[in-house]
């Protein structure tokens, strides 16, 4: 009897040991998950916090962890002193038109490459992708001379043309993936009915590929919204400069206006973050297809 | 029963139709040409032409401010090789590229492994990881300027609170720590993206291998080291290569956060080139710098490519 009891005890202690280990592993796992979340949104939240605090809180030690009592002074400054809405309008125009052209040109090219058995199409696709690897600093000077030659400096179209070329390779690549998956019978049937290439693309392929269009549209919009170097080089006044240039120029003579900067950061980032959270699945699938090129 | 002919010809399978030899049908060829024209045209004007123009510019002494513009052969490159500023920027860029790529790959892999497990709220965590990627890099620079502020930055406060440092560190205001701060900001911004790429790679590895290994009594660690990692290796290396090529061009972060300073300690090849081009208006010399950068990047890509091919061949691929 005693022996049996002892073995029972052993089993029990072994069991509790195992469950203890499981609890510990679980705890560490969720700690890692929490770490990832803090990593990803911590700096953003801290910036949001700063944007709502009066300047004297920002200069205080220890720092204020909550904006209580808060202020919207910084947001007021962003719009009514710095005229930030102008940068936002410029960015909306540039990124919007770029995206429209990217989708038009990109879907035509992807259609041509994916739906016709033309020799060397993978070669062409490869070249288009390789072009996207060129360092941008290597093309900025010649493009500056070109834009200045045709009187395009400090215009929207100078940025739209450049962003179009920067965005196209990814758009072509992702849409190529989409179009290739669709059954060929769709084209064949439409062709028998007398539809031309453009009509097949417009009324058959594009409606089915709407998810792909949303993904690529978002990616090219975000890329144009965020681009800095060309905007800095090509535009020179508040009526054409985009948001990144506006944010970069946010300085004062004697002190750094951290609160105003934080407010401006929030204004231009929150729409983007909202967009990304809503469309996260599509964006991730588009990005991973676009970047893991095998 | 007769087989239904159209079904046999599924998507992606090469066409069984006779005699439509690729490239011979001129009508098809013309259609495809027209479809490709807008894209090829744009890329030719905005990407290809400037590269060739850049090469010719790099052989001239074009300066916009003084109107000099004549052919000088390789003179710019000779000046470049003797230029201490160039070598300083070159070293900074290589150091930044190596350290940030390494950190982002290792940390990204760790995050991907966590995300690979199923748990409640995984979708939310994955969505949150897109936030650093979506934020404009210029805004990231300002954000880290505030986080790492020498006076009131939260990072200094937290480090002092946990007794890791005694006094405030002047992060991006000192030659000692400025490049480190930029590496940290870049690692913050890019690691989650890297993790999502690697996660996609992990998910494409078959789950049955997992079970087979578990049945064979492999520990979790053995399983990771012997099975998962080798299978993930091609994705990992390609992701690291793309990251390294991108890191090599770093411009926004140093330009906005430090302007290349203090004392050129965060000057990268891109920021130096930009300054020569648009502050000095030396389009000839600046283009030579850009070409040197292009060449270095090409070498990195080729080196990596050769390494990748060897590895794949060695693993019996």
Residues A100, A141 share a domain:
yes
Same-domain status, A126 and A200: yes
Does residue A87 sit in the same domain as residue A225?
yes
Q: Give yes or no for B114 touching A (CB within 8 A).
A: yes
**Any idea which residue has 């993790």 for tokens?**
B195
**Residue A134 · residue B298 · CB < 8 Å:** no
Q: How far apart are CA B289 and CA B295, in angstroms?
A: 10
Within-domain flag for A194: yes
| pLDDT in the model for residue B1 | 41
Q: Are residues A186 and A108 in the same domain?
A: yes
Output B99 or A3, whichever has higher pLDDT.
B99
Residues of B in contact with A241 (CB under 8 A): none
Mean predicted lDDT score pLDDT of chain A: 88
pLDDT surpassing 70 at residue A3:
no
CATH number at residue B176: 1.10.3720.10
* Residue A140: CATH number of its domain: 1.10.3720.10
- C-alpha A186/C-alpha B10 separation (Å) is 11
Copy the structure tokens of residue A213. Answer: 């269009």
- pLDDT score, position A4: 67
On whether both A142 and A235 belong to a single domain, the answer is yes
Chain B neighbors of A28, CB-CB under 8 A: none
- Residue B18, pLDDT score: 45
Domains: count for chain A? 2
For the stretch B154-193, pLDDT in tens is: 999 999 989 888 888 899 989 989 999 999 999 999 999 8
* Inter-chain residue contact A46 with B126, CB threshold 8 Å: no
Beta bridge partners of B60: B71
Higher-scoring residue by pLDDT: B219, A35: A35
My answer on whether A32 and A86 are in the same domain is no
Q: Could you tell me if residue A61 is inside a domain? A: no
A70 in any annotated domain: no
User: Under an 8 A CB cutoff, do A288 and B200 touch?
Assistant: yes
What residues make up the domain containing A287?
A: 78-291
The candidate with the shortest Cα–Cα distance to B250, out of B299, B175, B185, is: B185
Q: Is residue B7 part of a domain?
A: no
What pLDDT, on a 0 to 100 scale, did the predictor assign at position B208?
Answer: 66
* Parent domain of B208: 90-253+298-314
Do residues B187 and A43 make contact, with C-beta atoms less than 8 angstroms apart?
Answer: no
Return the SS3 of A269: helix
The two structure tokens encoding residue A65: 């962890």
Query: Are A90 and A18 members of one domain?
Result: no
Do residues A49 and A63 touch, judged by C-beta distance below 8 A? Answer: no
**pLDDT tens string A193-233:** 888 888 889 988 999 888 889 989 998 999 999 999 999 99
Q: How many domains does chain B have?
A: 1
Q: Is residue A60 part of a domain?
A: no
Whether residue A283 lies inside any domain: the answer is yes
Residue numbers in A near B128 (CB within 8 A)? 36-37, 40-41
pLDDT digits (tens, 9 = 90+) for A122-173: 889 888 888 888 889 999 999 999 999 999 999 999 999 999 999 999 999 9
**B15 touching A, CB under 8 A?**
yes
Q: Are residues A189 and A236 in the same domain?
A: yes
Note whether A29 and A89 are same-domain residues.
no
Q: pLDDT value at position A120?
A: 84
Longest pairwise C-alpha distance within chain B: 86
Q: A1 to chain B, minimum CA–CA distance in Å?
A: 35
Q: Is residue A73 part of a domain?
A: no
* Cα dihedral sign, A89-A93-A95-A99: positive
Q: What confidence tens digit (pLDDT) does each residue in A226-259 have?
A: 999 999 999 999 999 999 999 998 876 667 889 9
Q: Work out the minimum CA distance from B294 to partner chain A, whole angstroms.
A: 7
CA gap B92, B95 in Å, rounded: 5
| 8 A C-beta contact, residue A236 and residue A154 | yes
- Asked if the Cβ–Cβ distance from A63 to B154 is below 8 Å, we say yes
Judge whether A63 lies within some domain: no
Q: What is the pLDDT of residues A66-122, one digit of tens each?
A: 888 889 999 999 999 889 999 999 999 999 999 999 999 999 999 999 988 888 888
Chain A: nearest CA to B46, how far in angstroms? 6
> Is residue B72 situated within a structural domain?
no
Is residue B310, in this structure, part of any structural domain at all? Answer: yes
Distance of CA B144 to the CA centre of its chain: 20
Residue of A nearest to B199 (CA): A288
* Spatial contact of A224 and A94, defined as CB atoms under 8 Å apart: yes
| Option in A40, A138, A268 nearest B136 (CB) | A268
Chain A to chain B Cβ contacts (< 8 Å): 293
CA–CA distance, B245 with B250 (Å, rounded to integer):
9
Question: In the block, which residue shows the tokens 């995206």?
Answer: A99
Which residues in B lie closer than 8 A to residue A268 (C-beta atoms)? 136, 139
- Residue A145 and residue A283 share a domain: yes
pLDDT of residue A240: 95
Q: Rounded distance, CA B288 to CA A146, Å?
A: 18
Residue B186 near residue B253 (C-beta atoms within 8 A): yes
Q: Does any CB of chain A come closer than 8 Å to the CB of residue B231?
A: no
- pLDDT, average across residues A182-187: 86
Distance between CA atoms of A86 and A79, rounded to whole angstroms? 9
Give the residue ranges of chain B where pLDDT is below 50.
1-23, 317
Q: Is the peptide bond before A62 cis (omega within 30 degrees of 0)?
A: yes
B187 lies within 8 A of chain A by CB: no
Q: Is residue A21 part of a domain?
A: yes
The residue of chain A with its CA nearest to that of B259 is: A248
Q: Do A143 and B146 touch (CB under 8 A)?
A: no
In chain A, the residue whose alpha carbon lies closest to the alpha carbon of B200 is: A288
Asked if residue A142 and residue A254 are part of one domain, the reply reads: yes
């Amino acid at each position: 009897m005693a022996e049996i009891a002892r073995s029972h005890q052993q089993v029990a202690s072994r069991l509790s040991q195992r469950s203890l280990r499981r609890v510990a592993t679980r705890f560490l796992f969720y700690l890692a998950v929490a770490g990832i979340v803090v990593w990803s949104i911590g700096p953003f939240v801290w910036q949001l916090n700063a944007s709502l605090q009066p300047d004297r809180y920002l200069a205080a030690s220890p720092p204020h962890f909550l904006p209580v009592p808060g202020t919207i002074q910084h947001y007021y400054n962003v719009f009514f002193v710095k005229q930030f809405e102008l940068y936002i309008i410029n960015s909306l125009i540039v990124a919007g038109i770029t995206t429209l052209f990217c989708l038009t040109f990109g879907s035509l090219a992807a259609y041509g490459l994916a739906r016709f058995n033309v020799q060397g199409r993978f070669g062409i696709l490869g070249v288009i992708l390789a072009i996207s690897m060129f360092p941008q600093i290597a093309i900025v000077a010649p493009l500056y001379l070109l834009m200045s030659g045709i009187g395009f400096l400090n215009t929207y179209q100078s940025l739209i043309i450049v962003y179009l070329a920067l965005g196209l390779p990814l758009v072509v690549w992702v849409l190529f993936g989409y179009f290739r998956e669709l059954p060929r019978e769709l084209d064949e049937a439409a062709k028998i009915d007398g539809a031309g290439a453009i009509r097949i693309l417009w009324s058959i392929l594009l409606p089915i590929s709407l998810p792909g269009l949303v993904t690529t549209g978002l990616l090219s919009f975000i890329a144009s919204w965020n681009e800095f170097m060309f905007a800095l080089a090509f535009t020179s006044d508040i009526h054409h400069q985009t948001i990144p240039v506006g944010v970069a120029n946010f300085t004062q003579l004697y002190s750094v206006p951290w609160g105003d900067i934080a407010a401006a950061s929030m204004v231009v980032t929150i729409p983007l973050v909202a967009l990304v959270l809503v469309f996260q699945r599509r964006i991730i699938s588009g990005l991973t297809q676009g970047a893991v090129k095998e | 029963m007769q087989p239904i002919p159209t079904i046999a010809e599924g998507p992606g399978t090469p066409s069984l139709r006779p005699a439509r030899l690729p490239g011979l049908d001129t009508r098809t060829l013309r259609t495809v040409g027209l479809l490709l024209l807008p894209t090829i045209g744009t890329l030719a004007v905005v990407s290809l032409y400037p590269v060739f123009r850049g090469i010719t510019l790099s052989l001239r002494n074009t300066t916009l401010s003084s109107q000099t513009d004549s052919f000088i052969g390789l003179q710019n490159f000779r000046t470049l090789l003797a230029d201490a500023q160039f070598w300083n920027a070159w070293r900074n860029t290589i150091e930044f590229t190596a350290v940030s790529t390494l950190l982002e790959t290792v940390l990204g892999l760790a995050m991907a492994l966590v995300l690979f497990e199923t748990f409640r709220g995984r979708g939310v965590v994955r969505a949150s990881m897109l936030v650093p990627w979506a934020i404009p890099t210029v805004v990231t620079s300002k954000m880290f300027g505030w986080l790492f502020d020498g006076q009131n930055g939260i990072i200094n406060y937290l480090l002092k609170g946990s007794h890791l440092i005694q006094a405030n560190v002047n992060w991006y205001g000192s030659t000692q720590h400025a490049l480190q701060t930029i590496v940290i900001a870049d690692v913050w911004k890019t690691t989650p993206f890297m993790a999502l790429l690697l996660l996609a790679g992990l998910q494409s590895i078959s789950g049955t291998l997992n079970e087979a290994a578990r049945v064979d009594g492999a520990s979790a660690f053995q399983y990771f080291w012997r099975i998962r990692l080798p299978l993930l290796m091609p994705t990992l290396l390609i992701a690291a290569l793309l990251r390294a090529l991108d890191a090599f061009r770093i411009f926004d972060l140093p330009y906005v956060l430090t302007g290349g300073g203090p004392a050129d300690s965060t000057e990268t090849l891109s920021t130096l080139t930009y300054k020569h081009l648009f502050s000095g208006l030396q389009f000839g010399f600046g283009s030579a710098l850009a070409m040197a950068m292009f060449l270095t990047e090409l070498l990195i890509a080729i080196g990596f490519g050769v390494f990748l091919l060897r590895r794949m061949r060695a693993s019996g691929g």
